[in-house]
Structures are given as C-alpha cells and as structure tokens.
C-alpha cells in the first residue's frame, strides 16, 4: 500500500505571520483578486494568491526562501481590494522580515533588534564599546580644548577606523554567509515548486543578471506601477539617495585626509560639504515623509499597510541620524563646545547602530531583495 503525502503545517509559522500581518490570514478564500490587482504579478507567474494559501497552511519551506516574496514592494493595492481583509501585502512583508531573520545570524542579534524592550541596549552596547576603545587606547580626548571646535581632536579618525572597519568586515561576513544559504535555499524552493532543475548556479551569469537589474532596483521602478502608495517612491528615493551620498561624502573626507593630507573642519561652501548638507536634509525630509505616510495608512479604516517595530526602528534611526548630524554641525557653527562634542558622540551611537545592526534591520532588504530579484530573473533567462 502506498502512503499518501500529507501536509504538515508549521503552527508557529502561522502564528508568527498572524502576529505580523493581522489575525485574518485564514479568512482568505482564494478569490485571486489580489493577484489580479497586483500590477507586477504576471500571468505566467501570479502572486500573492498562492502565497496566501501556502501561508495559511504553514508551508514555511515554500515561502521563507521563495524569491517571489521579494518581488512585492508592499504598495498595499492587494490589501485594499481584498474582500476578506486578509492583508496579503502585509503577509508578504511579514514573510520578508522572517526571511531576513532566518539568514542573518547569530540569532541573538535578531532577538536584540526585534524586541522594543531591548532598545536601550542598542545604545548602551555602542556607548560601552566606543568609550572603552577610546579611553583604553588613549585616543579619545574628553577635553579637546583649542580655539576652534575640531571633532578629530575629541575623537580622531584613527579611532573611528579602529571601531568601524572591524564592524564593517563582520557585517560583510554575516551577509556573505546569509546570502550563500539564501541562494541555495531559493534554488531548493524553486526546484520543489518545479521551476528549476537543481544544479550549481552559474556564478558569472548570475552576477551579470544582478548587474543588469541594479538600475531598475535603484530607480525604484516597481513603485511606479503600484497605485495606492505611488507617493512612497519619492520618500524612499530621498532616503536611499541620502544614505548613498553620505557614504560617498565619508569616503571623500577619508580621501582628503590620507591622500591630500587635508584636515577638517571644511568651509560651508566646499562642494563635498554642500552635498553632505543636502543629503542630511534629504534624509530628514524623506524619513519624515515616510513616517507621515505610515501613520496615515495606520489611521485609515482597517489600515491598508501595517507597521511594526521592525519598520519604526529603521525610520527612527534614519531620522535620528539626520537630525543629530545636522545639530552637530549647527552647534559647532554656534561655537558651543560641550554641546557640539556631546551631540557628535550621540551621532556616533546612531552611526554604530546603522553599521553594526545592518544585517538585522529592515535595511537588509537592500541586500536580500537585490539578490532575490536577480535570482528570479536569472531563472527566467536560463
């Protein structure tokens, strides 16, 4: 007698999706309105209807490493039109969050970053590391003195490098290991769903696809196709632009220091300084716009797009980085040394959060979404 295959639902998985996306997951009656409403869902590749049934059945192995969940930009169109309030957009958003948690190890870091009660630790830990490194090496000068406020006298660039270079290497390693597993699991998932033959990925062809997809990802093209939250494209792009241009500014200042032997503070009309100020303002404005949009969505009847601590932490971090960065500059220009140096230290704590916790926050989307979208297109093309 042959045994009949049966489905073993992962009940914890279902409970977690419900806690992130609302209790009405199982109200979905598979009408497929969501798949029709979604402008980036294709006839030969419809979603999110099938993801809804897989989620209701607790089929974690078909969802957690499924590239399709990363094609969604959480515009909310499907959730608005769903006749059962099953919130498919939020279900996919919760699955992406769970996917990040699955691949960004160690697990203890996910526990730290996903629990609002542990928020104080996200500042105590960096403060202890920064102060201990600064004071034990003797590089940090708590009374820098001098006629001018010079942050490098208080906290030298060599000290920043001593802390942030090892952190960046550790973050790159976490991503490397996570992406390696993610790629393997995406391949297994597609093989299970009958979309690919399991076999080694052609790394060269995959990287070529990834490079081809980058411009569309950077331009946030998918946002333009959604109707409900089209406005989010501008705020998203402002925040993305400011993060990348601030990274460029940091690189330019390091280049000026080591190659041109030029020390700050720089003139306000210096082109790099102007770019830094524009980026800082874009970061604050973009973050405030995103916060306003999320609050407006939450206020609407039924809320077409849910927001959790995972979303608010990143928005709060982006806004705080922008505000403390600008305040640091204003206090230096106002020549209030104790306030300027204190604000600079607080800004460093936020910068530490941004770099060290990158693989565990919503910013990890940038990496996982890029890889998943590239893999989806790689499979289509090969």
Nearer to ligand SF4, 91 or 343 (CB): 91
Q: Is 16 in the site for ligand SF4 (CB under 6 A)?
A: no
Residue among 59, 113, 130, 226 that touches ligand SF4 (CB under 6 A): 226
Q: Is 144 exposed, middle or buried (0-12, 13-18, 19+ CB in 10 A)?
A: middle
Q: How far is the CB of 304 from ligand SF4 (least distance, A)?
A: 9
Query: How many residues of this chain interact with ligand SF4, rule: CB under 6 A?
Result: 29
Residue among 18, 24, 26, 32 that touches ligand SF4 (CB under 6 A): 32
Residue among 18, 45, 62, 84 that touches ligand SF4 (CB under 6 A): 84
Q: 150 is written with which tokens?
A: 């010079």
Kindly identify the residues of this chain, within the stretch 37-76, that bind ligand SF4 according to CB under 6 A.
37-38, 40-41, 48-49, 52, 72-76
Q: How far is the CB of 102 from ligand SF4 (least distance, A)?
A: 20
Q: How far is the CB of 378 from ligand SF4 (least distance, A)?
A: 21
110-114: list long-range contacts, CB under 8 Å, 24+ apart.
Answer: 110/360, 112/357, 112/360, 113/313, 113/357, 113/360, 113/361, 114/309, 114/310, 114/360
Nearer to ligand SF4, 69 or 371 (CB): 69
Kindly identify the residues of this chain, within the stretch 318-337, that bind ligand SF4 according to CB under 6 A.
none
Q: How far is the CB of 86 from ligand SF4 (least distance, A)?
A: 4
Nearer to ligand SF4, 72 or 130 (CB): 72
Q: How far is the CB of 94 from ligand SF4 (least distance, A)?
A: 12
Nearer to ligand SF4, 56 or 110 (CB): 56
Contact (Cβ atoms closer than 8 angstroms) between residue 122 and residue 353: yes
Adjacent-strand bridge partners of 42: 45
Radius of gyration of the chain (CA): 23
Using the rule CB under 6 A, give the single segment among 9-17, 83-91, 190-198, 322-330 that binds ligand SF4: 83-91
DSSP secondary structure letter of residue 45: B
60/81 Cα distance (integer angstroms): 26
Helix 88-103 × helix 365-381 angle, to 10°:
100
Cα–Cα distances in Å, from 367 out to 66, 194, 218, 276, 362? 15, 26, 12, 24, 10
Instruction: For residue 276, report the phi and psi dihedrals to the nearest 5 degrees.
Output: -60, -40
Scanning 104-231, the segments in alpha helix (DSSP H) are 107-113, 121-137, 151-154, 157-192, 203-218, 221-225
Q: Is 29 in the site for ligand SF4 (CB under 6 A)?
A: yes
Residue among 55, 63, 92, 183 that touches ligand SF4 (CB under 6 A): 92
Q: Is 348 in the site for ligand SF4 (CB under 6 A)?
A: no
The residue ranges that bind ligand SF4 (CB under 6 A) are 28-34, 37-38, 40-41, 48-49, 52, 72-78, 82-84, 86, 88-89, 92, 226
């Amino acid at each position: 007698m042959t045994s009949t295959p049966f489905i073993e639902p992962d009940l914890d998985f279902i409970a977690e999706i419900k806690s992130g996306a609302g209790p009405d997951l199982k109200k979905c009656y598979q009408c497929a309105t969501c798949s029709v409403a979604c402008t980036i869902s294709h006839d030969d590749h419809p979603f999110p209807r099938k993801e809804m049934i897989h989620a209701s059945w607790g089929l974690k192995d078909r969802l957690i490493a499924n590239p399709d969940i990363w094609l969604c930009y959480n515009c909310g169109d499907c959730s608005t039109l769903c006749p059962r309030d099953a919130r498919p957009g939020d279900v996919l958003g919760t699955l992406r969050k769970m996917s990040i948690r699955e691949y960004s190890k160690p697990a203890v870091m996910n526990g730290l970053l996903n629990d609002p009660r542990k928020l104080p630790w996200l500042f105590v830990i960096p403060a202890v590391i920064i102060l201990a490194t600064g004071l034990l090496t003797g590089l940090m000068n708590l009374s820098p003195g001098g006629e001018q406020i010079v942050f490098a006298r208080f906290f030298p660039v060599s000290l920043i490098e001593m802390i942030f270079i090892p952190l960046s290497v550790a973050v790159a390693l976490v991503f490397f290991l996570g992406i390696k597993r993610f790629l393997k699991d995406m391949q297994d998932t597609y093989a299970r769903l009958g979309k690919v033959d399991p076999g080694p990925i052609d790394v060269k062809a995959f990287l070529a696809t990834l490079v081809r997809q980058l411009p569309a990802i950077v331009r946030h093209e998918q946002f333009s196709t959604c109707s409900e939250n089209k406005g989010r494209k501008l705020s998203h792009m402002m925040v993305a632009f400011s993060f990348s241009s601030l990274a460029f500014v940091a690189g330019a200042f390091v280049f000026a220091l080591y190659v041109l032997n030029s020390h700050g503070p720089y003139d306000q009309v210096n082109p790099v300084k102007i770019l830094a100020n524009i980026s800082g303002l874009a970061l604050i404005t973009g973050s405030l716009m995103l916060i306003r949009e999320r609050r407006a969505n939450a206020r609407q009847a039924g809320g077409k797009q849910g927001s959790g601590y995972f979303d608010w932490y990143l928005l709060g971090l982006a806004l705080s980085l922008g505000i403390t960065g600008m305040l640091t500059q204003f206090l230096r220009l106002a020549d209030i040394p104790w306030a300027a140096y204190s604000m600079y230290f607080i800004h460093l704590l936020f910068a530490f959060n941004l770099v060290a916790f990158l693989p565990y926050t919503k910013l990890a989307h940038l990496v996982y979404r890029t890889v998943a979208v590239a893999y989806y297109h790689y499979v289509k093309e090969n």
